[in-house]
Structure 1
Amino acid sequence: MAGNQFVAEQLVKTSGFQDVDPTLLAAGEIGIYYCNSEKVVGDGGFFKEFENNAQGMWHHAVGMMDRNPDFKKIIEILAEEASRLLPKEGHCTISGGQTRDWLFSAPVAHLLGLPHVSIYKPVANHPDHIEVQGDDGSPISTGGFLWKCPNLHIVDLITEGSSCYHKEADGSETGWIPILRRAGAQITDLLSVVTRYQGGEENLAQVGVNVHPIVGIDEEFLREHSQNPEAVAYFRDPTKWSKNFLRKKGAKMFARFFDPSGGKQDRAKRFVERYEDALHTTNKFDALDRRVSSHYGLSIDQIMKGETLYKTTLMQKWKEIVARKNSILCAGLDPSEYWQATENTMPEGADKFEWSMDFIDKVAPYSSAVKINRNFIKGLTREQVSALTQRIWDRDMLPLDDPKVADIGNTNDSGLYAAQKEGFAGVTYSPFPGNFEEAAMMAHNRGLGIIGMDIMSNPQHKTEKMKLAEVTENPAGYHLEDIVELHELHEVEGVKKDIVHKFVPQYIQLARAAADYKWDGVVIGAPSPGNHVSLREVARIRAYVGNDVLVLMPGVGAQGGDAESIIKMFGDNVIVNVGRAVLYAKDPAKAAMQYRDMLNGIRAKYKAA
């Protein structure tokens, strides 16, 4: 095993090295084991809070040396190697690239008493963004600072070296090394915590940079630490192994990397550049393209060209799946733990994640969506929630996040960011703070549909829905029958004037907001003799939203709601959510099939009419 034994042991101990299902690496290559060097930091992923804040990351990484002695020892090992590579005299710097490199480069610079150069990922209109911190973390002006300055670049991991240097098809150079050289820095050496030995050393040598790894993932390492019998064959020839895998399994499992709002398009682009011929040769490309198009409403070609707008709405995605599956059923996933309630719970000792994955598989043949109630999965990790949504997508259903976001803008956006990262298609939104337009814009900017609450079927909402909202703008946008006028008599300079204030019920205000601000859907509880939701109210909502929004309808099933009246008005725009009646049925698959068939009977009745 090549490299430092202590660092290798820490990598394994912290699960920084682990076998994984086939995935896409940064260079576009398929990987079957992960090397997440950042795990040795021991901060539980808290470093992500500073992914756009280099100075904050500097202080966090340096502080982790005091909190984690093993991490401090790793930094000392890196610093010793760095001091060997750097000039003994004169001005020099340490650099790292956003984000994970900073965890190692910043504390090494601190230990050596050197300035730290933080390189940000290129963005439009700001391609070469760097910041410099002194050895105490304070900012230093970057103007001319790096000119003819020897610099050692530190990375957490090197595979093929594409993040450090990549020559694009148009001849332009991208990556950390070109950015440093354009700033005037002299760079001939690169220090890597881990190398996968997949060509990075050779590729960077061609541009005059020597790679110095601390730990190498080689055959000896894999035989000792990998449980995958394919690992050594993969290591010997990753491309040969990958082409054989694609021939047998196809590439549909990689569709998530093409998400226009997910931040992994570079991997997807390089994957296509590398394996497009192999995919076409084995007739696997079209299947991947169909999966990508169904998920994101854009073809691979469109995504490769950089089209990232929210072009395919949640409505379009829903209708496409409904057409394929002939179902408007949405299965509600609200997994109660055994001691949480007296009935309708998971079995005692059940693993929530595994139980939920099994439920998704059972309802998949009969459902077009799965709505996950955020309050019931708070114990799951982001990785587990992402695995749930991926399973839902893979089973040709829409994953809907039900957090009912209801706060000021940046708080709502934090929830939307989580939903985006976890792979949801849409989120529920509680509009009562009043930020109707802002919330819709934020959701759409993250590639998410937004479904706003309008009428809920719980008893307490009977009075809430009728609270009056004053009409302050464009009263002509409301129907006369919905307007309530209140008259106020004012006397000004002896003249009495009748001031008319116009109001509408809250549920009418929300219906119009849905139409005006392009919400993708509204929530309307299923009417029933046992609740307050009336057919007139549903009809009034439809008068504003027409056929342009979806209706997420909870309350069918255990709550006894009537689906027929709303399906009659909205047709296949209705997402009929059935929760406990399917989730806790003795046979969830059979229950889902029965609800699908019942709903299809209603659909057929009104389509025939």
Structure 2
Amino acid sequence: MVDTIVSELFQTQALQVCDPDHPFWYTSGLFGPYYINTHFLYGSKEAAENLLEQIDRELARDNRLFFPVSIARQTEQQYETNRIYRHVIDELAGLASGLSFDLISGGERRDFFFSYAVAARLQVPHLSIFKDGSRVLSTLKGRPELYPASYQGPVFKGQTFLHIADLVTQASSYTRSWIPAVTALGGQVKDTLVVVDRAQGGRTILQQQGIKLHALTAIDQKLFEAAQAQGLISAGQAALLESYASDPDQFIQQFLASHPGFLQAEEQRDARTAERVNRFRWLQSQQS
């Protein structure tokens, strides 16, 4: 399973690894050797961006009750027609079927790429959680139920949830939004299932919340070896990934030491990159 998921990550460009001498800039103001866009496993970058646009359009309509129906309809069509997406959903559903839970939840926006389709495969109710705090319950029978952000009550007292997400980094979305949204309705998130674990502390944070993390794959040594064995990355790229996974801060310092002209060259590329370099220098100054 891992080898297939790894090849699909690269095939759809959901995972991109940089040239050893040119790391990617992140919105945080730091840089690293890879970009991950797990939602590209919807089949392609184009297909994923089209669904994101539809999600944004539906959110702008501000009709929360209709939203799950509209987006789930699209993910079902994609499941029927796209081999890669169907394989990812089937793998998620297979893992989920071995867990014990009453409902599935997913959060705005990228969780919806996977949570609706898995709920459909397993024929279980789905709770859509939105960034404004509102929630919509979709059941197999009957009309959907809307719970405004301000609503709290024992709707799901004694019931457990499996939260499905595209990826987990440090689980900030869980602690800030997803877990409180479920507990406010009397439910409990006991497990979460993600496509990719970035292996950057999220598992430990979730354990502290009493939640067990399950993932199709992780950004770790096993993935690096599988990618190199399939010829998807070079030995130099694999070494870069291993260094970053071991210690991101040390990776940055070692890269700058071996590439002394990197920041100056990046400043000359374009205004956006120059801004990122300035932010990086500011961040470094705060640590010294």
- TM-score range normalised by the length of the shorter chain: 0.7 to 0.9
1:279 matched to 2:285? The reply is: yes
Match of 2:54 among 39, 47, 50: 50
The residue identity in structure 2 corresponding to 1:153 is H
1:15 matched to 2:13? The reply is: yes
- Structure 1 position 226, deviation (Å): 3.4
The residue identity in structure 1 corresponding to 2:25 is T
Q: CA offsets, 1:558-596, max 9 Å, x none?
A: xxxxxxxxxxxxxxxxxxxxxxxxxxxxxxxxxxxxxxx
**C-alpha separation between the residues in 2 aligned to 1:254 and 1:162?**
29
**C-alpha separation between the residues in 2 aligned to 1:76 and 1:178?**
29
- Structure 1 position 116, deviation (Å): 1.3
- 1:194 and 1:257, CA in 2 relative to 1: closer, same or farther beyond 3 A? farther
**C-alpha separation between the residues in 1 aligned to 2:106 and 2:277?**
25
1:66 corresponds to which residue? 80
The residue identity in structure 1 corresponding to 2:17 is D
- 1:25 and 1:181, CA in 2 relative to 1: closer, same or farther beyond 3 A? farther
- Structure 1 position 60, deviation (Å): 1.2
- Structure 1 position 201, deviation (Å): 0.8
1:216 corresponds to which residue? 218
CA contact (8 A) 2:165 2:193 kept: yes
1:585 corresponds to which residue? none
SS of aligned partner of 2:16:
strand
**C-alpha separation between the residues in 2 aligned to 1:183 and 1:80?**
27
- 1:44 and 1:208, CA in 2 relative to 1: closer, same or farther beyond 3 A? closer
2:61 corresponds to which residue? none
Match of 1:6 among 4, 7, 12: 4
Q: CA offsets, 1:110-130, max 9 Å, x none?
A: 1111111111124xxxxx222
Name the larger-Rg structure: 1
SS of aligned partner of 2:213:
strand
- 1:256 and 1:5, CA in 2 relative to 1: closer, same or farther beyond 3 A? same
Q: 1:5-154 residue pairs with structure 2 within 5 A? A: 5-20=3-18, 21-24=23-26, 30-42=31-43, 43-52=47-56, 53=58, 54-55=67-68, 56-87=70-101, 92-122=102-132, 128-135=133-140, 139-142=144-147, 144=153, 145-154=155-164
- 1:60 and 1:138, CA in 2 relative to 1: closer, same or farther beyond 3 A? farther
- 1:86 and 1:98, CA in 2 relative to 1: closer, same or farther beyond 3 A? same
- 1:235 and 1:13, CA in 2 relative to 1: closer, same or farther beyond 3 A? same
- Which structure features the higher share of helix residues? 2
**C-alpha separation between the residues in 1 aligned to 2:277 and 2:48?**
24
2:233 corresponds to which residue? 226
- 1:15 and 1:71, CA in 2 relative to 1: closer, same or farther beyond 3 A? same
- 1:281 and 1:140, CA in 2 relative to 1: closer, same or farther beyond 3 A? closer
Q: 1:438-457 residue pairs with structure 2 within 5 A? A: none
CA contact (8 A) 2:135 2:146 kept: no
Q: How many residues align?
A: 248
- Structure 1 position 65, deviation (Å): 0.7
Q: 1:361-372 residue pairs with structure 2 within 5 A? A: none
- Structure 1 position 23, deviation (Å): 2.5
- Structure 1 position 35, deviation (Å): 2.0
- Structure 1 position 214, deviation (Å): 0.7
The residue identity in structure 2 corresponding to 1:46 is N
CA contact (8 A) 1:190 1:210 kept: yes
RMSD: 3.2
**C-alpha separation between the residues in 2 aligned to 1:177 and 1:158?**
14
Q: Percent identity?
A: 28
- Structure 1 position 243, deviation (Å): 4.6
CA contact (8 A) 1:109 1:135 kept: no
SS of aligned partner of 1:183:
coil
Task: Give the unaligned 5+ runs of structure 1.
Answer: 123-127, 166-173, 259-267, 283-609
The residue identity in structure 1 corresponding to 2:285 is L
